[in-house]
């Protein structure tokens, strides 16, 4: 059995959000899929440790905002690598409330599906919430971001709580390079690529980045980076 076969499954990139007691939270999820068309239903798989899980469980509603291919890494980092227990993820984000009162992300979103939970399936580390679509709309004509695009082109990583997280094997060969890795989220700064979303041109060595530069995924400062060996 080759467990890596499971990495050949294709996914999209979404912000799944919900509400509780007048507060909002959302997280990045790639495991969102349509279950039936009559009535239209969706399933999302959410880690039990995540605050969004608590919110969906208590309110019985969630919104899936479909992320555009052009979404920058800091946007994904805000929802994917930070916890709503530490920050208000919607503070700097444009959103509006849907029919259910859950927040619809209006930035870098090509459309949304708003759901009421019909069924809950306990699958150990995660819960699969099955929701009936109560409202949905296309917001722009842009292309959606795929999970493969996020990993291959954007250099994105999966947090340990993602359903599709796979532990990386330690590198064996020591190569001479000046890539630097974020100790918080495992993002790797590659000087060949730079950090175009934050205005850092390709070909910029890590060493000359300003001290105010922060990890484009999790916002950690430069001091949290270590040279890749």
Please report, as ranges, the residues that interact with Fe ion according to CB under 5 A.
182, 184-185, 187, 215, 217-218, 220
H helices of the chain, where? 51-59, 73-80, 147-152
Report the residue number, 113 or 182, with the smaller CB distance to Fe ion.
182
Cis peptide before 139, with omega less than 30 degrees from 0? no
Q: How far is the CB of 116 from Fe ion (least distance, A)?
A: 35
How far apart (Å, rounded) are the C-alpha atoms in residues 132 and 41? 4
- 146, exposed or middle or buried, with CB in 10 Å at 0-12, 13-18, 19+? middle
CB 43, CB 128: distance < 8 Å: yes
Within 13 Å, how many C-alpha atoms sit on residue 55's CB side? 26
Report the residue number, 114 or 195, with the smaller CB distance to Fe ion.
195
Beta-bridge partner residues of 209: none
Report the residue number, 19 or 157, with the smaller CB distance to Fe ion.
157
Q: How far is the CB of 218 from Fe ion (least distance, A)?
A: 3
Report the residue number, 131 or 156, with the smaller CB distance to Fe ion.
156
Collect all residues with Cβ–Cβ distance below 8 Å to 122 and sequence separation of at least 6. Answer: none
Q: How far is the CB of 225 from Fe ion (least distance, A)?
A: 8
Report the residue number, 126 or 181, with the smaller CB distance to Fe ion.
181
Collect all residues with Cβ–Cβ distance below 8 Å to 131 and sequence separation of at least 6. Answer: 41, 42, 43, 44, 61, 62, 115, 116, 117, 118
Q: How far is the CB of 215 from Fe ion (least distance, A)?
A: 3
Report the residue number, 44 or 182, with the smaller CB distance to Fe ion.
182
- Under DSSP, the state recorded for 179 is -
Q: How far is the CB of 220 from Fe ion (least distance, A)?
A: 4
Q: How far is the CB of 77 from Fe ion (least distance, A)?
A: 7
């Amino acid at each position: 059995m080759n467990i890596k076969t499971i990495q050949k499954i294709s996914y999209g990139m979404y912000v799944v959000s919900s509400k509780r007691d007048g507060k909002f939270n959302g997280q990045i999820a790639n495991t969102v899929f349509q279950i039936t068309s009559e009535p239209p239903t969706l399933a999302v798989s959410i880690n039990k440790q995540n605050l969004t899980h608590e919110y969906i469980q208590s309110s019985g509603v969630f919104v899936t905002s479909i992320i555009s291919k052009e979404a920058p890494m800091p946007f994904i980092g805000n929802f994917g690598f930070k916890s709503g227990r530490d920050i208000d993820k919607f503070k700097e984000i444009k959103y509006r409330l849907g029919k259910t009162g859950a927040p619809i992300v209006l930035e870098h979103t090509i459309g949304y599906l708003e759901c009421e939970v019909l069924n809950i399936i306990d699958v150990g580390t995660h819960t699969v919430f099955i929701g009936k679509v109560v409202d949905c709309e296309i917001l722009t004509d842009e292309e959606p971001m795929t999970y493969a695009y996020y990993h291959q082109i954007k250099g994105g990583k999966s947090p340990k709580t993602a359903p599709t997280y796979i532990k990386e094997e330690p590198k064996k060969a020591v190569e001479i390079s000046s890539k630097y890795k974020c100790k918080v989220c495992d993002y790797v700064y590659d000087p060949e690529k730079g950090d175009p979303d934050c205005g850092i041109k390709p070909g910029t060595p890590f060493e000359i980045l300003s001290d105010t530069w922060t990890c484009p995924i999790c916002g950690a400062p430069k001091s949290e980076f270590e040279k890749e060996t």
